[in-house]
């Protein structure tokens, strides 16, 4: 099989130079740039993987958070069994890079997307989620036409109120619907993820949410296994709850994504028991372009930082973020704060890492004050 590493990405990025080269001093990186602190990322990856390994289950990190071939390869090297993606076009980027075990944690609908999944399944182990017979029909026809095997997980709604069936009878209906496609659709088990549970600040509340989900899922798994439909995989969980699913005696793998990068939203969670504390590894680096008595203006705005989970945080003593517009952030000077000058550089912590990374072409991987590597955001914009 032929999967030239980085080839598609390099042709993507070739026309627009990265804001630094390896060896650049941090002070000389052009802005607004997205910095990845390698020490922090390595700490997060090692400690979370160790915690999950200790629980005896697998980690399949979600690549929608970082969209980076380089990070995904390190996750695999650090024991991940594969990765999650959210879209077929995202999975294509990683399969081309040689990552050959991918779960698409989403419903795949429409002829173009089903065809893409079927083609991927000729090169890699690909799973998808279903919660409706029409999805089974569409992916089943594409898998049959392409003579490939696609793993199918039934998505269960455990309180998120988005996708997923909720009852054992619906799960049985879906699982039985795979049978006409046997040989092309392989029943794999259950996918159950509750995004809203990830950000419950109180660990007791998160624990309660996961316990309730596990009870619901155990009933569904029992019903399926009662009909000989073995749930080899029960997968879900994220950065806020992975330690709870890991202790559930049900989940066989967890899907944390943000844990390698972190953001202000996850940092606002209170930690669960003995779980490793995560470090901020992702920072926006901005330049001060305009200064005034009570405020200064940075050269990155809404096109450099996602704001769906609130404003990013500026890391400069006494200064706070007031507002973002398309290409500017206005920061306010507190009473005790030292002034900033035109040309000064400041770091920001994104409020939500996933959509922030998706705004950038490059991750500038730094160690201390030096740029170590430049990593393309290989799956940026992979919407299809």
Q: Write out the two tokens for 174.
A: 């879906």
Q: Which of 324, 328, 326 is nearest to 312 (CA)?
A: 324
Least separation in angstroms between CB 352 and its own copies: 8
Least separation in angstroms between CB 355 and its own copies: 5
Select 118 or 246, whichever has its Cβ closest to its own copies.
Answer: 118
Q: What is the side-by-side order of every strand in the sheet holding 101-107? A: 58-59, 253-254, 233-236, 185-192, 150-155, 125-130, 101-107, 83-85
Q: Write out the two tokens for 64.
A: 């929608």
Q: Write out the two tokens for 329.
A: 């952030």
CA angle 219, 128, 206 (to 5 degrees): 50
- Is residue 185 within 8 A of residue 135, CB to CB? The reply is no
Select 11 or 56, whichever has its Cβ closest to its own copies.
Answer: 11
Q: Would you tell me which residues interact with its own copies (CB under 8 A)?
A: 8-9, 11-12, 14-16, 19, 30-32, 64, 86-87, 89, 106-110, 112-113, 131-132, 134-135, 138, 161-164, 195, 287-291, 295, 297, 299-300, 302-304, 306-308, 324-328, 330, 341-343, 352, 354-355, 358-361, 380-384
Alpha-helical (H) ranges within the chain are: 7-13, 38-54, 69-77, 88-96, 111-121, 133-145, 168-177, 195-198, 203-226, 242-246, 264-267, 353-357
Select 230 or 325, whichever has its Cβ closest to its own copies.
Answer: 325
Least separation in angstroms between CB 223 and its own copies: 20
> How far is it, in rounded angstroms, from Cα 159 to Cα 214?
12
Least separation in angstroms between CB 17 and its own copies: 8
Select 49 or 360, whichever has its Cβ closest to its own copies.
Answer: 360
Select 242 or 246, whichever has its Cβ closest to its own copies.
Answer: 242
Least separation in angstroms between CB 356 and its own copies: 10
Q: Write out the two tokens for 384.
A: 């299809």
Select 133 or 204, whichever has its Cβ closest to its own copies.
Answer: 133
How long a stretch of residues is the chain? 384
> How far is it, in rounded angstroms, from Cα 249 to Cα 207?
14
> How far is it, in rounded angstroms, from Cα 116 to Cα 100?
15
Least separation in angstroms between CB 162 and its own copies: 6
Select 159 or 276, whichever has its Cβ closest to its own copies.
Answer: 159
Say if strands 253-254 and 295-298 run parallel, antiparallel, or are unpaired: unpaired
Least separation in angstroms between CB 380 and its own copies: 8
Burial 306-328 (b: 16+ CB within 10 A, else e): bbebebbbbebeebebeebeeeb
Select 55 or 209, whichever has its Cβ closest to its own copies.
Answer: 209
Select 130 or 250, whichever has its Cβ closest to its own copies.
Answer: 130
Least separation in angstroms between CB 360 and its own copies: 7
Select 218 or 328, whichever has its Cβ closest to its own copies.
Answer: 328
Least separation in angstroms between CB 342 and its own copies: 4
- How far from 274 is each of 3, 47, 54, 268, 277, CA to CA, in Å? 40, 11, 12, 17, 9
Least separation in angstroms between CB 350 and its own copies: 13
> How far is it, in rounded angstroms, from Cα 143 to Cα 122?
9
> How far is it, in rounded angstroms, from Cα 245 to Cα 251?
6
């Amino acid at each position: 099989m032929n999967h030239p590493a980085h080839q598609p990405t390099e042709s993507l990025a070739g026309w627009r130079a990265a804001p630094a080269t390896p060896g650049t001093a941090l002070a000389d990186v052009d802005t607004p740039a997205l910095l990845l602190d390698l020490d922090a990322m390595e700490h997060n990856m090692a400690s979370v993987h160790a915690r999950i390994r200790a629980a005896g289950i697998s980690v399949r990190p979600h690549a929608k958070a970082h969209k980076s071939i380089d990070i995904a390869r390190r996750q695999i090297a650090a024991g991940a069994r594969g990765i999650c993606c959210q879209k077929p076009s995202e999975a294509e980027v990683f399969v081309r890079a040689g990552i050959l075990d991918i779960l698409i944690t989403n419903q795949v609908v429409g002829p173009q997307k089903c065809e893409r999944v079927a083609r991927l399944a000729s090169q890699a182990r690909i799973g998808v989620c279903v919660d409706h017979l029409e999805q089974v029909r569409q992916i089943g026809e594409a898998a049959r036409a392409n003579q490939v095997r696609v793993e199918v997980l039934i998505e269960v709604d455990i309180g998120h109120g988005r996708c997923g069936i909720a009852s054992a009878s619906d799960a049985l209906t879906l699982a039985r619907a795979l049978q006409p496609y046997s040989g092309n659709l392989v029943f794999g088990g259950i996918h159950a993820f509750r995004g809203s549970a990830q950000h419950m600040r109180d660990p007791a509340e998160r624990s309660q949410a996961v316990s309730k989900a596990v009870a619901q899922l155990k009933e569904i798994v029992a019903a399926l296994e009662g009909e000989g439909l073995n749930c080899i995989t029960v997968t879900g969980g994220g950065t806020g709850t992975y330690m709870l699913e890991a202790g559930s005696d049900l989940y066989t793998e967890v899907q944390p994504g943000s844990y390698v990068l972190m953001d202000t939203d996850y940092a606002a969670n209170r930690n669960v028991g003995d779980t490793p504390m995560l470090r901020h590894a992702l920072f926006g680096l901005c330049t001060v372009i305009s200064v005034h008595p009570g405020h200064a203006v940075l050269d990155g705005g809404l096109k450099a930082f996602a704001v769906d989970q609130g404003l990013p945080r500026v890391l400069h003593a006494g200064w706070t973020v007031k507002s973002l517009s398309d290409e500017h952030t206005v920061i306010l000077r507190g009473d005790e704060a030292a002034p900033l000058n035109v040309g000064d550089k400041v770091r920001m912590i994104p409020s939500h890492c996933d959509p922030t990374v998706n705004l950038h072409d490059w991750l500038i991987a730094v160690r201390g004050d030096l740029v170590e590597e430049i990593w393309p955001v290989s799956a940026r914009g992979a919407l299809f």
